[in-house]
Amino acid sequence: MTIHYERQGDIAVLKADNPPVNALGQAVRQGLVDGVARANEDGAKAIVIYGEGRTWFAGADIREFGKTPLEPYLPDVCNIVEASAIPVIAAMHGTALGGGLEVALGCHYRVAVPTAKMGLPEVHLGLIPGAGATQRLPRLIGHAAAIDMMTSGRPIGADKALTLGILDKIETGDPLEIGLAYAQELIAQNAQVRPVSALPVPEAIDFDAARDAVRKKSRGQISPVVAVDAVEAATRMDFSEGLAEERRLFMELMKTDQRQGMIHAFFGERQVSKLPELQGVAPRDVAEIGVIGGGTMGAGIATAALLSGLRVVLIEMTDEAAEAAKGRIAGNLSGALKRGKIDQAKHDHILNDALTCATDYVALSNADLIIEAVFENMDVKKEVFGKLDTVAKAGAILASNTSYLNLDEIAASTSRPADVIGLHFFSPAHVMKLLEVVVGKETAPDVVATGFALGKRLGKISVRSGVCDGFIGNRILNTYRSCADHLILDGASPYQIDKVMEGFGFAMGPFAVSDLAGLDIGWANRKRLAPTRDARERVPTYADKLCEDGHFGQKTGRGYYVYDGRAKSPNPDVMPLIQAERAELGLTDKGYSDEEILRRYMAAMVNEAAKILGEGIARRPLDVDMVLLFGYGFPRYNGGPLKWADLQGLPALLEDIKSFAQEDAYFWQPAPLLEQLVAEGRNFEDLNKEAAA
């Protein structure tokens, strides 16, 4: 039983009991329908609906999406609630989201506790509200505010909901008690039902302008624009026609790849840190962390740790460098203060009490976990770990933030390789969501558990990676970057490739990203890999020439682009360098279309991802997808490279790879796992399911 019915005097109480978030699955919907009918039959004067546990209904049950819908459908449930002859009161706490808010809009009166949040996050699932909100909410709060809630998906607090007119009241207390008190008050006033659907539709706004504004923000995502269409329908149709139109648009979106991609992202985000190997493994206690190196990365890691309430000891080489590191952290913290993430007291406490900047490693003797964020060079790392081994207390975890280097080799430079782990943050570390937790061959399970626990505390999406050059993310990045370089040798321009990938939904194309990261990073990496590189690999040199001339991208004002403040334009030196290299190599322009560029770029990404999976570096396809979504700007609505690959169909992708291999058999070696899946008629989602079983 997911809806319990009880009478409290004149009031019928419908108590939702469907943990953890009271999602509106079939049984809950049926329970609401039955409860409203029963209350109307047994002489109750009002109905109070509330949720047991931590929340009111947090929305439709997302696990039902993609399956045949089961009756009663949620829009009908909301209509049935609204059609009750006796007043229905929503008494809300926690999160009233999506269909949850729509049930509340079907009620006649709404009260909530001050901490309650309400929102319509369907766009984050590639959908629009599909149970009446596009028709009821504009009637209640106006078109502009309704469009804002639906297209941003951002929840609002109870205060704002009261101001907008979604709530009638805010009351402190137990949700059932405040609901009952409000119901009694309404009964005493002889208050009548008050259906939102009967309210007049406000004057139409400029919906074309609204659509244009939303389209600009949503970068290729379909559903936010469709949400505006649905709201506009309310101005052209009566309520029931508008509701039918909303349902039609909702069901159309349900069929899209974007819906599948975003729901994959929703569950992947929650699944990714659940590792079977960690079940029952307790993490070590962490109260104080050490950070070695106070550059942008070290200061970012320190900031993230401080903001999560940890004490931090940061080590730099000199007093001046330590002072500069403190300045960087102070800058990050003042940003957090300005954005309201912390108050002045917390800001001052962090800077004055929780943070210590020092130059002597001895200051690390109390640290529970120490993260090294020094220059990316094996000898330097080994020297740092050697020193850490002598000062760190027994049981302390020694972590490296290396983005490429062999963690096992680093661990071997200590006497305690079981305590060594990789914690690969992404810059700026206090902002970027991804944390790769790199597990070496000797890393102890409770050290891995501690890595994940730290990631959670810091608000990160943590993904397990095995050891290889570049781990999951940078290894894939290197491959698709190489593909982009090959495309350039064969005729494409960096600007065409950036445009195509931005069209796919990346916030920035790969060349704009290189400019942001610093071209010197790729240059150093190419030099590092040169001695062991296979002679068959095609590596262009035009990018080295840019670096030799001192152009490192945004930080020097010139890279693939020339930067003038925030504006950027193609660097006129780049194409002549490329053309000279093509001429030198005797290559001709293959005249790639945008579509051909996308196919090759994505095939390279998927193929490398499949190799990483096949080698066991990533354990599940969804792990790779979350790395690309949260660290590399992969568009969420495409779900991640392997979800995208499933949606395209693996046989066609493998065919592409084989046809590209006819030109460059070294680069386009098909991943054995991809060949196996195609041969067996399976896909990556099947592997995710097997891992979850």
Looking at beta carbons only, is 105 or 606 nearer to ligand 3H9?
105
Query: 493, 615 in Cβ contact below 8 A?
Result: no
Looking at beta carbons only, is 130 or 179 nearer to ligand 3H9?
130
Q: Confirm or reject binding of residue 461 to ligand 3H9 (CB under 6 A).
A: no
Provide, rounded to whole angstroms, the least separation between the CB of residue 222 and ligand 3H9. Answer: 16
For the chain, what is the largest distance between any 2 Cα atoms, rounded to a whole number of angstroms?
A: 90
Looking at beta carbons only, is 239 or 561 nearer to ligand 3H9?
239
Looking at beta carbons only, is 60 or 454 nearer to ligand 3H9?
60
Closest CA to 91 of 112, 67, 109, 62: 112
* Residue span binding ligand 3H9 (CB under 6 A) among the ranges 16-24, 436-444, 587-595, 656-664: 16-24
Among positions 215-274, residues that touch ligand 3H9 (CB under 6 A) are 270
Verify whether residue 102 is a known catalytic residue.
Answer: yes
Provide, rounded to whole angstroms, the least separation between the CB of residue 274 and ligand 3H9. Answer: 7
Q: Which two tokens stand for residue 466?
A: 């095995």
Closest CA to 529 of 385, 373, 376: 376
Looking at beta carbons only, is 67 or 566 nearer to ligand 3H9?
67
Verify whether residue 122 is a known catalytic residue.
Answer: yes
Which residue reads 């930067």 in tokens?
563
Q: Confirm or reject binding of residue 368 to ligand 3H9 (CB under 6 A).
A: no
Of the listed 102, 232, 288, 436, which one is catalytic? Answer: 102
Among positions 553-592, residues that touch ligand 3H9 (CB under 6 A) are none
Among positions 472-511, residues that touch ligand 3H9 (CB under 6 A) are none
Q: How far apart are the first and last CA of the chain?
A: 27
Looking at beta carbons only, is 24 or 420 nearer to ligand 3H9?
24
List 14, 16, 48, 74, residue binding ligand 3H9 (CB under 6 A) = 74
Which residue reads 């659509």 in tokens?
211
Provide, rounded to whole angstroms, the least separation between the CB of residue 98 and ligand 3H9. Answer: 2
* Residue span binding ligand 3H9 (CB under 6 A) among the ranges 60-68, 140-148, 161-169, 656-664: 60-68
**What is the C-alpha to C-alpha distance for residues 208 and 205, in angstroms, rounded to an integer?**
9
* Residue span binding ligand 3H9 (CB under 6 A) among the ranges 15-23, 31-39, 490-498, 552-560: 15-23
Closest CA to 299 of 461, 389, 431: 431
List 27, 33, 62, 517, residue binding ligand 3H9 (CB under 6 A) = 62
Q: Confirm or reject binding of residue 417 to ligand 3H9 (CB under 6 A).
A: no
Closest CA to 625 of 602, 645, 647, 643: 643
**Whole-Å CA distances, 121 to 73, 106, 245, 267:** 19, 18, 20, 15
**Whole-Å CA distances, 678 to 218, 652, 681, 686, 689:** 34, 9, 5, 12, 17
* Residue span binding ligand 3H9 (CB under 6 A) among the ranges 59-67, 297-305, 544-552, 622-630: 59-67
* Residue span binding ligand 3H9 (CB under 6 A) among the ranges 52-60, 372-380, 604-612, 639-647: 52-60
176 φ, ψ to 5°? -65, -45
Provide, rounded to whole angstroms, the least separation between the CB of residue 19 and ligand 3H9. Answer: 9
Query: 522, 484 in Cβ contact below 8 A?
Result: no
Provide, rounded to whole angstroms, the least separation between the CB of residue 251 and ligand 3H9. Answer: 9
CA 141 to chain centre: 30
Query: 59, 133 in Cβ contact below 8 A?
Result: no
**What is the C-alpha to C-alpha distance for residues 138 and 143, in angstroms, rounded to an integer?**
5
List 11, 44, 90, 131, residue binding ligand 3H9 (CB under 6 A) = 131
Q: Is the dihedral of CA 645, 647, 653, 655 positive or negative?
A: positive
Among positions 263-322, residues that touch ligand 3H9 (CB under 6 A) are 270
The three-class DSSP label of residue 134 is helix
Of the listed 41, 64, 122, 241, which one is catalytic? Answer: 122
Looking at beta carbons only, is 71 or 383 nearer to ligand 3H9?
71
**Whole-Å CA distances, 541 to 494, 538, 585:** 14, 10, 11
Looking at beta carbons only, is 2 or 607 nearer to ligand 3H9?
2
In sequence order, the β-bridge partners of residue 290 are 313, 370
Provide, rounded to whole angstroms, the least separation between the CB of residue 22 and ligand 3H9. Answer: 9
CA 414 to chain centre: 35
**89 to 128: interface string for ligand 3H9, x by CB under 6 A:** ------x-xxx--x------------------xx--x---
Transcribe 278-333 into DSSP letters: GTTPPPPP-SEEEEE--SHHHHHHHHHHHHTT-EEEEE-SSHHHHHHHHHHHHHHH
Provide, rounded to whole angstroms, the least separation between the CB of residue 506 and ligand 3H9. Answer: 24
The number of residues that bind ligand 3H9 (CB under 6 A) is: 22
Looking at beta carbons only, is 273 or 332 nearer to ligand 3H9?
273
What's at 551, amino acid-wise?
Answer: H
Provide, rounded to whole angstroms, the least separation between the CB of residue 690 and ligand 3H9. Answer: 17
Residues that bind ligand 3H9 (CB under 6 A): 20-21, 23, 58-63, 74, 95, 97-99, 102, 121-122, 125, 129-131, 270
Report, as residue numbers or ranges, the catalytic residues: 102, 122
